């Protein structure tokens, strides 16, 4: 093991950032792949990139020589003129190395990293020149528009890019925290070049513009590979292109960090050796994120876990994941049947769509396996109704139902600027710096509690709307966000319970126009 990796191992163990099983698995993989121990642990989701950078800095500044970061919003000329390399960026700091005066470089870069501490690492002239050459190649190439759009999107945590041709121009939207915003406008000649480049890299038919197509490609972003899933759709003015960004850095969330209020009820259900646990919510409600975080929490080293997904968005180390392919007859139902012959402990069904999948799911739960599945419905009672509509009788759930979690996503107010700084590095001027889950969850500990759910309409748990109101009343989100998600329901609840002191003040000074929502 390299000296740097030995020091890194000692640092991580001392601070309890990884457990012995994860460390042993990463060491074994690193020995074969010849990849650094730190990079292996980050890629497998055992360690966050920020924690790795902090560890490397603590060991020695020279450990960062191999790191580099392309930051699209920093002008190239500043970096070239000062012979400066951006090494990496964490939540609190930006690390750079430079051949110029540090005070001058800090003065030039600070406007682009407001709120972040600019720290300097030892400069290596050869590494800096290689970095600047890489920067020039990206920005001077024919694909520079595409590269900058994608890199900026990844940096800002965007989930999707929408490229829409119009009569005389084309528009690019970012979907950030579930809401679209315009970020770029270009002419149609540039759009045609962009369209051709995206379809070529996605291995689509360049000549076919009459039918929808699907494809994808990958890009390297600051030391990690980010997958991009591409879909085209023929419109009146031309092909609309949607690019879904699947950044592995966003897939390593811990279940405790998602914001599930009644998490213990969900964990009680998934702790059982057998039974059925359901994650419910509309499209875009974060079900896949919760599913992945749940799987990671169930110790895939000790348990044999199989998943059927359409498609597999994020790879989870040591979990057997199947990509559904109905063109060759591999659907959810067939995948679950295959899993039951492969010595599983836990079976994960990405989506229950039909009676065959539902029956195999029930059979797996009845025969001693823990089954976790997702449904497109918005409440705990709705989950039972949805299964009934698919064809599952209520009595089939009597002995196997363990937990049901219904969720949505709600934006969180930026605690740094509250939307008052267009250059805020945390929220990029949106006023919101992240999202949290709002949910209702219940654990059914015995048959009598399941029967109460199956044959009654009583709600004995906190609903999604009540959970959202509680987070709003604590100042975690805004009235506008509550109204965006729930509409009039939010207004009625807030008026019934009384506005928070924060929004009462905003009504008084006129910054919140309550009448606009009536």
What mean pLDDT value characterizes the chain? Answer: 89
> What was the pLDDT predicted at 61?
58
Question: Is the model's pLDDT at 518 over the cut of 50?
Answer: no
Cα separation, 212 vs 23, whole angstroms: 45
Question: Is the model's pLDDT at 1 over the cut of 60?
Answer: no
Mean pLDDT, rounded, for 409-431: 83
Kindly report, residue by residue over 446-460, the tens digit of the pLDDT: 999 999 999 988 899
331/63: higher pLDDT: 331
Longest Cα–Cα distance of the chain, Å, equals 74
Question: Is the model's pLDDT at 41 over the cut of 60?
Answer: yes
Q: What is the DSSP string of 429-494?
A: TSSEEEEEEEEEEEE--SHHHHHHHHT-----S--HHHHHHHHHHTTSS-HHHHHHHHTHHHHHHH
Handedness of CA 169, 158, 287, 229 (dihedral sign): positive
145/164: higher pLDDT: 164
Q: What is the DSSP string of 373-392?
A: EEES-SSHHHHHHHHHHHT-
Please provide residue 27's backbone torsions phi and psi, each rounded to the nearest 5 degrees.
Answer: -65, -45
Cα separation, 392 vs 300, whole angstroms: 30
pLDDT bucket at 271, cuts 50 / 70 / 90: very high
Cα–Cα distance list, 167 to 66, 161, 188, 232, 237 (Å) = 46, 20, 9, 18, 6
Half-sphere exposure in the Cβ direction for 126 (13 Å, CA): 2
Predicted structure pTM score: 0.82
> What was the pLDDT predicted at 505?
53
Domains of the chain: 3-138 (no CATH), 141-246 (3.30.450.90), 255-457 (3.40.50.300)
Mean pLDDT, rounded, for 200-226: 90
pLDDT bucket at 172, cuts 50 / 70 / 90: very high
> What was the pLDDT predicted at 60?
66
> Which tokens is 479 given?
């009235």
Mean pLDDT, rounded, for 410-422: 84
> What was the pLDDT predicted at 497?
80
Q: What is the dihedral of CA 294, 296, 301, 306, to 10 degrees?
A: 60
């Amino acid at each position: 093991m390299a000296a740097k990796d030995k020091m890194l191992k000692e640092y991580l163990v001392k601070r309890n950032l990884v457990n012995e099983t994860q460390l042993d698995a990463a060491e074994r993989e690193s020995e074969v792949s010849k990849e650094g121990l730190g990079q292996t642990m980050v890629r497998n989701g055992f360690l966050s990139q920020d924690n790795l950078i902090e560890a490397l800095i603590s060991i020695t500044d020279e450990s960062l020589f191999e790191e580099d970061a392309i930051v699209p919003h920093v002008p190239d000329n500043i970096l070239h003129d000062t012979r400066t390399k951006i090494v990496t960026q964490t939540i609190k700091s930006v690390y750079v190395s430079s051949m110029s005066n540090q005070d001058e470089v800090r003065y030039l870069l600070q406007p682009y990293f407001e709120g972040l501490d600019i720290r300097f690492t030892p400069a290596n002239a050869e590494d800096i020149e290689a970095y600047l050459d890489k920067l020039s190649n990206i920005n001077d190439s024919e694909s520079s528009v595409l590269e900058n759009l994608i890199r900026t999107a990844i940096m800002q945590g965007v989930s999707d890019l929408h490229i829409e041709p119009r009569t005389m121009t084309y528009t690019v939207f970012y979907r950030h925290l579930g809401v679209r915003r315009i970020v770029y406008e270009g002419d149609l000649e540039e759009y045609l070049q962009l369209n051709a480049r995206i379809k070529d890299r996605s291995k689509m038919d360049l000549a076919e513009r009459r039918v929808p197509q699907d494809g994808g490609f990958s890009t390297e972003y600051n030391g990690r590979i980010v997958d991009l899933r591409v879909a085209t759709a023929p419109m009146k003015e031309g092909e609309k292109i949607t690019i879904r960004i699947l950044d592995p850095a966003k897939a390593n969330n811990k279940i405790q960090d998602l914001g599930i209020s009644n998490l213990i009820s969900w964990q009680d259900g998934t702790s059982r050796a057998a039974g059925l646990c359901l994650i419910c919510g509309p499209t875009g409600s974060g079900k896949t994120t919760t599913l992945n975080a749940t799987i990671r929490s169930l110790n895939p080293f000790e348990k044999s876990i199989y998943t059927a997904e359409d498609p597999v968005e994020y790879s989870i180390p040591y979990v057997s994941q199947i990509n559904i392919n109905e063109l060759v007859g591999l659907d959810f139902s067939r995948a679950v049947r295959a899993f039951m012959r492969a010595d599983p402990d836990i079976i994960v069904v990405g989506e229950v769509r039909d009676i065959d999948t539902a029956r195999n799911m029930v059979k797996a739960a009845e025969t001693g396996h823990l089954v976790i599945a997702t449904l497109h419905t918005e409440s705990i009672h709705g989950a039972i109704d949805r299964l009934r509509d698919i064809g599952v009788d209520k009595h089939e759930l009597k002995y196997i139902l363990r937990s049901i979690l219904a969720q949505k996503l709600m934006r969180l107010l930026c605690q740094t600027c509250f939307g008052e700084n267009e250059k805020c590095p945390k929220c990029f001027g949106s006023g919101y710096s992240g999202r949290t889950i709002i949910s209702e969850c219940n654990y059914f500990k015995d048959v009598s509690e399941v029967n109460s759910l199956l044959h009654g309409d009583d709600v004995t748990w906190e609903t999604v709307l009540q959970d959202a109101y509680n987070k709003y009343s604590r100042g975690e989100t805004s009235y506008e966000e509550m109204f965006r998600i729930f509409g009039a329901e939010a207004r009625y609840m807030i008026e019934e319970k009384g506005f928070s002191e924060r929004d009462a003040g905003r009504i008084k000074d006129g910054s919140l126009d309550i009448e606009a929502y009536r």
